[in-house]
Amino acid sequence: MSYREAHQELELLWKVAISKGCMRDVTMRHGHVADALIKEKVAHLEATAPAPTAQPEQMVMCTDGAMVQLTSGEWREVKTVTFGEFRPHWDAKQRKVVTKTDNISYFSRVETAEDFSHSALVEWHRRGGENAHTVVAVQDGALWIQSFIDYHCPQAVRVIDFAHALEYVATVGRAIHGAETEAFQQWYARMSKQLGRQPPQRTVNELRLLYRQHPDHPEGEAIELAIRYLEKRLPMIDYPHFRRRQIPIGSGNVESGHKVVMQQRMKQAGMRWAEESLNPMLALRVALCNQTWHTGWREIEARVRQEKFPVNAEQNQDATQVTEPRDVTEADCQRLTALADRIDKKKRHPWRNHKWIFPHRHDSIHKN
């Protein structure tokens, strides 16, 4: 929740008075530690390449970006990748087998595409992506996303999000038939069914034929770009083939991931962020949304205490060393005897026996 909401809840429910500024400082301090731990884990994975323990059968990976505003007025792209496991499921309401995705986790960062590919190794390894029998990458076809897939799983089945592909079909239809016309609505409904049930070449050829019938159209450049986009990605829009294999064709997981991880906390009304605060907050949000908070928080808290109370390595080493036993000397006996005498005198002190040092003062108090 926002700092203002957290401030109110702590005060009303827990009777804890803390300023919003202090709460922000504590949150960011722990967030920076969480961000540093992610970088350390990435370096460890790249250096040692340990085998993952998770064993998913079929995994779907969705990648996308969303914008967040900075205090300077600029915008930064928050890149998010989601991982889930999909399986066929009988839907009694629709009376057919549908593909169901569950066990979804998220990873979000504000980085370049190359750095984000490296950072996402943390979640990719935790989910056991290398052990998956089948990996499906559903995305919007951006070049940086293709590089992201090449880095993690080049053999993944690549699918263009169905709604995203339909947007390029709709671009051609709106230009030719008009955006709000009845002709466009009827044409678009027919093309949507055709794209989902027929080979993609048929849809692309029909779009190309429609454009040839209007060679001098004022929006010819936009139409040409839309058709070329689909032509270059025919294997990724073969939706009848994907449906037969019961493969997901929608990237709704990453769309909801933007809302759950980033927008719910970082794009509320009037919010702007310092650039150095983005990744620390995202690191905490990811731990919360992935339900790994308890494990992650122990690591964060241990690092915070270590930085706040550094341990002297030499003293710690001396404390753990085992010394060899030695013979007791006469000087040791004298020193122990003197220590025992001092302890015995303290025990026999009048104050220890609840007796006053000045008994005449004690008597005068009682007489008065």
Backbone angles phi, psi at 41, to 5 degrees: -65, -40
- Residue 366 in domain: no
Least confident interval from 72-81, 144-153, 314-323: 314-323
Alpha-carbon 323 to chain mean position: 49
Residue 164 confidence (pLDDT) above 50: yes
Is there a domain that residue 315 lies in? no
Mean pLDDT of the chain, nearest integer? 87
Say if residue 328's pLDDT is above 80.
no
By the 10 Å C-beta count (0-12 exposed, 13-18 middle, 19+ buried), 360 is classed as exposed
Q: Please check whether residues 168 and 284 belong to one and the same domain.
A: no
Domain-located, residue 345:
no
Pairing of strands 75-91, 58-69: antiparallel
Last residue of a domain, which of 273, 292, 308? 308
Which position has the higher pLDDT, 307 or 236? 236
Judge if pTM exceeds 0.85: no
Total domain count for the chain? Answer: 2
Task: Evaluate whether residue 362 is within a structural domain.
Answer: no
Both 56 and 125 in one domain: the answer is yes
In this predicted model, what pLDDT tens digit does every residue of 75-127 receive, in sequence order?
A: 999 999 999 999 988 888 888 888 899 999 999 999 999 999 999 999 999 99
Residue with the bigger pLDDT between 40 and 321: it is 40
One domain for residues 278 and 134: yes
pLDDT of residue 309: 79
Residue 357 clears pLDDT 70, i.e. is over it:
no
If asked whether residues 139 and 73 sit together in one domain, one would say yes
55 and 117 share one domain: yes
Same domain, residue pair 146 and 181: no
pLDDT of residue 339: 73
Cβ atoms of 196 and 247 closer than 8 Å: no
- Summarised one tens digit per residue, pLDDT across range 259-269 is 999 999 999 88
In this structure, is residue 126 part of a structural domain? Answer: yes
Same structural domain, 128 and 37: yes
Q: Is the pLDDT of residue 322 over 60?
A: no
**pLDDT for residue 13 is more than 60:** yes
pLDDT band at 368 (very low <50, low <70, confident <90, very high): very low
Predicted pLDDT of residue 356: 47
The pLDDT confidence band at residue 332, using thresholds 50, 70 and 90, is: confident
Confidence band for 343, pLDDT divided at 50, 70 and 90? low
Between CA 239 and CA 244 the distance in angstroms is: 9
The pLDDT tens digits for 206-249 are 999 999 998 888 999 999 999 999 999 999 999 999 999 999 99
- Closest to 151 measured CA to CA, from 85, 101, 86, 81: 81
Domain extent, residue 197, equals 164-237
Which of the four pLDDT bands, split at 50, 70 and 90, describes residue 19?
confident
Backbone dihedral region for residue 32 (phi beyond 0: left; psi -120 to 50: alpha; all else: beta):
alpha
Instruction: Please indicate, yes or no, whether residues 299 and 215 belong to a single structural domain of this protein.
Output: no
Query: Does the pLDDT value for residue 167 go beyond 90?
Result: yes
Instruction: Tell me which amino acid residue 24 is.
Output: R
- Is 363 a member of any domain? no
Q: Is 355 a domain residue?
A: no
pLDDT at 124: 96
Domain boundary among 267, 283, 308: 308
Same domain, 169 and 283: no
How large a percentage of the chain has pLDDT more than 90?
69
Same domain assignment for residues 257 and 290: yes
pLDDT band at 297 (very low <50, low <70, confident <90, very high): very high
Residues 114, 201 within the same domain: no
Q: Evaluate whether residue 28 is within a structural domain.
A: yes
pLDDT 10s digits, 199-208: 999 999 999 9
Q: In this structure, are 210 and 290 located in the same domain?
A: no
148 has a pLDDT exceeding 50: yes
Which residue has better confidence, 324 or 84? 84
**pLDDT of amino acid 326:** 62
